Amino acid sequence: MLATMMNVPLLLSSILRHAETCHGDGEIVSATVEGGLHRYTYGALASRSRKLANALSRLGLKSGDRVGTLAWNGYRHLELYFGVGGSGLVCHTINPRLFREQIAYIIEHAGDSVLCFDLTFLPLVEGLAAELKNLKAVVVMTDEAHMPKSEALPGLLCYETLVAGEPDTFDWPVLDENTASGLCYTSGTTGEPKGVLYSHRSSVLHAMAIALPDVFDLSAATVVCPIVPMFHVNAWGLPFSVPMVGAKLVLPGPHLDGASLHALFESEGVTFTAGVPTVWLGLLDWMDAHGRKFSALKRVAIGGSAAPPAMFKRFHVQGVDVLHAWGMTETSPVGLAATLKSKHQALPPDRQLELLCKQGRPVFGMEFRIVDHEGREVPHDGKSFGAMLVRGPWVAQGYFNAPRHSAHADFPGWFNTDDVVTMDADGFVKIVDRTKDMVKSGGEWISSIELENIAMAHPAIKEAAIVARADERWGERPVLVAVLKPDATLTREDMRAHYESRTSKWCVPDDLVIVDELPHTATGKLSKKTIRRLIEPGS
Ligand code: ADP
């Protein structure tokens, strides 16, 4: 028997309509590329998104067409999220940190009809001019006063001019909620970049889930500053979730250094922020060097790669709680978040920290299975490990315009994350490693994450990576590649002594390589592929 409830589709336009109606005067503050802060409200966002939707339809775009963006976290990018997706088009966020060839591949593969970009990326877009010839329009996200003259790109359009002439009325189409609304390519660390095509339904459900108290705990009283870029998995869904709850939204633009972030957090009273560990290293180092504190910040969500316990402690000293979370481009991204249950409240602080340092408990909507090599479920005892499979309404069941992928093939109905994990009886998942980053020594698996966390607790070490080096006797052995703090020194013997008191003898890295800088991927993670090359003999 069917129920008698309304079947109202879950659409991005419904978030925007709610934001305008219920908190139309709520603030959105953006640090701009042109300089200075831009301020407006959810009411203005809704109005300008309607104008943008009119402009896009005037450019001749039809339902399902892709609009590419190369842009920082800012208000115009937010208008594109809603104006493009809301009108039945697909907002394709492109990561400008990818290699030029990857960006060219992605634009071509996605079949973008229009490209919108921030001024910062003019040289990058000029370098792509040949690939953009067939696009309907290339739009600079700025005003007339800042429009560049470009010989390589003679027909550039100005975003503000495009929007200015349009009426403020637009009837958001009532779409099937499974209509595509967003497209984001994985960084291609494992093969060609693959396109994940989000739907209105997946984006709205994910936005509701991440606002929950045991996830990001967002409300109309929160002031949110997403540092995670809007070109990386929709800034973890915050641009949808924040307007939904009516929190003040603060967008950092291109200014991601410690001094700029601290100044923005202080001037806007940011209470919640989110980003990958690398960004926080920069901010914390700057704060230590300048003896600064946070006056409003209460909580920081960290994910994308493992947040080491040392980073938790540095935030705790600042009076800031850390929320460790796990996700992937294919999972919209949030799947796990580490918060304590009531029964954990009385535990001693070091036991609590141990739980909080895990990647977290499943967010409702996401189902998890952990399986061994034969596909058998491993016990949830916090020790047995296996491959993590996931499924849920915001998990990709395939890739855009691509043949079926092995991540979906081996376990029908599930997506294989390629992460090796343990789960305990309370549902806390701990990522042991990405399958390809584990070190296999004498038939035993060594977790690179665990050894990196130990390294990060050493006072001389600023950043650390563990990679495998081929070894005749053991197959592979771990090597520590580290960046030291200014004026610090570290010998192999110091390193060994530090590890020997903290891990089994056979896990202690064989070697220490000190470097000035560690390479990162386009999404801010340690690039293990490049680091492995650094330690190859003869390099
Ligand atoms: P890519 O690394 O290719 O850019 P994603 O950004 O989708 O792709 O990365 C997803 C991967 O990042 C996960 O499979 C996992 O290995 C890693 N990851 C994400 N969050 C965490 C976390 N909190 N701790 C450890 N690893 C994490």
Contact at 8 Å (CB) between 111 and 118?
no
Q: Write down the pLDDT at residue 190.
A: 61
Coil, strand or helix at 78: helix
Catalytic pick among 79, 166, 177, 330: 330
Q: Write down the pLDDT at residue 524.
A: 87
Does 162 fall in a domain? Answer: yes
Alpha-carbon distance 101 to 270, whole Å? 37
Q: pLDDT of 110-125, one tens digit each? A: 999 999 999 999 999 9
Asked if 29 and 171 sit in the same domain, the reply is yes
Return the half-sphere exposure (C-beta side, CA atoms, 13 A cut-off) of residue 45. Answer: 38
CATH number reported for the structural domain that contains residue 381 in this entry: 2.30.38.10
Does 9 fall in a domain? Answer: no
Catalytic pick among 41, 445, 474, 530: 445
Give whole-number Cα distances, 338 to 298, 358, 359, in Å.
Answer: 16, 7, 6
Q: How far is the CA of 328 from the centre of ligand 1 (A)?
A: 5
Catalytic pick among 144, 436, 440, 500: 440
Q: pLDDT of 224-279, one tens digit each? A: 999 999 999 999 999 999 999 999 999 999 999 999 999 999 999 999 999 999 99
Residues with CB under 6 A from ligand 1: 186-187, 189, 303-306, 324-329, 359, 417, 419, 431, 434, 523, 525
DSSP state letters, 480-520? EEEEEPTT----HHHHHHHHHTTS-GGGS-SEEEE-S---B
Domain closes at, from 379, 402, 436: 436
For residue 226, say if its preceding peptide bond is cis, omega within 30 degrees of 0. Answer: no
Asked if 116 and 26 sit in the same domain, the reply is yes
Does 146 fall in a domain? Answer: yes
Where does the pLDDT of residue 512 fall: very low under 50, low under 70, confident under 90, or very high at 90 and above?
very high
Quote the tokens at residue 203. Answer: 């984006």
Question: What's the average model confidence in pLDDT over 527-532?
Answer: 91
Q: How far is the CA of 326 from the centre of ligand 1 (A)?
A: 7
**pLDDT at residue 10 is higher than 80:** yes
Q: How far is the CA of 221 from the centre of ligand 1 (A)?
A: 30
Domain closes at, from 255, 274, 301: 255
Asked if 422 and 528 sit in the same domain, the reply is no
Quote the tokens at residue 22. Answer: 């219920």
Asked if 96 and 225 sit in the same domain, the reply is yes
Does 319 fall in a domain? Answer: no
Where does the pLDDT of residue 534 fall: very low under 50, low under 70, confident under 90, or very high at 90 and above?
confident
Asked if 167 and 133 sit in the same domain, the reply is yes
Contact at 8 Å (CB) between 203 and 181?
yes
Does 351 fall in a domain? Answer: no
Q: How far is the CA of 305 from the centre of ligand 1 (A)?
A: 5
Taking each helix axis from N to C end, the angle separating 75-86 and 238-245, rounded to the nearest 10 degrees, works out to 90
DSSP 458: S
In the predicted model, what is the mean pLDDT of the chain?
95
Atom of ligand 1 nearest to the CA of 431: 25
Does 98 fall in a domain? Answer: yes
Domain closes at, from 255, 273, 306: 255
Alpha helix stretches (DSSP H) within 153-276: 159-164, 200-210, 233-236, 238-245, 258-268
Contact at 8 Å (CB) between 80 and 52?
yes
Q: Write down the pLDDT at residue 17.
A: 98
**pLDDT at residue 462 is higher than 70:** yes
Question: What's the average model confidence in pLDDT over 350-354?
Answer: 97
Asked if 401 and 510 sit in the same domain, the reply is no
Where does the pLDDT of residue 523 fall: very low under 50, low under 70, confident under 90, or very high at 90 and above?
confident
Alpha-carbon distance 528 to 531, whole Å? 5
Where does the pLDDT of residue 188 fall: very low under 50, low under 70, confident under 90, or very high at 90 and above?
low
Where does the pLDDT of residue 435 fall: very low under 50, low under 70, confident under 90, or very high at 90 and above?
confident
Question: What's the average model confidence in pLDDT over 8-26?
Answer: 98
Atom of ligand 1 nearest to the CA of 232: 6
Asked if 430 and 444 sit in the same domain, the reply is no
Asked if 22 and 137 sit in the same domain, the reply is yes
Asked if 402 and 449 sit in the same domain, the reply is no
Give whole-number Cα distances, 143 to 76, 159, 442, in Å.
Answer: 11, 7, 62
Q: Find the domain containing 464 and state its range.
A: 439-534
**pLDDT at residue 182 is higher than 70:** yes
Asked if 78 and 150 sit in the same domain, the reply is yes
> How many residues are there in the chain?
539
Question: What's the average model confidence in pLDDT over 321-330?
Answer: 97
Catalytic pick among 32, 69, 186, 271: 186
Quote the tokens at residue 285. Answer: 């180092």
Asked if 100 and 245 sit in the same domain, the reply is yes
Does 170 fall in a domain? Answer: yes
Task: Collect all residues with Cβ–Cβ distance below 8 Å to 465 and sequence separation of at least 6.
Answer: 448, 452, 480, 481, 482, 518, 526, 528, 531
Does 311 fall in a domain? Answer: no
Q: How far is the CA of 304 from the centre of ligand 1 (A)?
A: 4
User: What pTM, to 2 d.p., does this model score?
Assistant: 0.93
Alpha-carbon distance 296 to 389, whole Å? 38
148-175 burial by CB neighbour count: b if 16+ within 10 A, else e?
eebeebeebbbbbebbeebeeebebeeb
Coil, strand or helix at 254: coil
- For the chain, the domain total comes to 3
Question: What's the average model confidence in pLDDT over 146-151?
Answer: 96
Alpha helix stretches (DSSP H) within 33-94: 42-58, 75-86
CATH number reported for the structural domain that contains residue 496 in this entry: 3.30.300.30
CATH number reported for the structural domain that contains residue 196 in this entry: 3.40.50.12780
Asked if 497 and 378 sit in the same domain, the reply is no
Identify whether 330 is a catalytic site residue: yes
Contact at 8 Å (CB) between 178 and 155?
no
Give whole-number Cα distances, 126 to 25, 122, 161, 249, 393, in Å.
Answer: 39, 6, 21, 32, 39
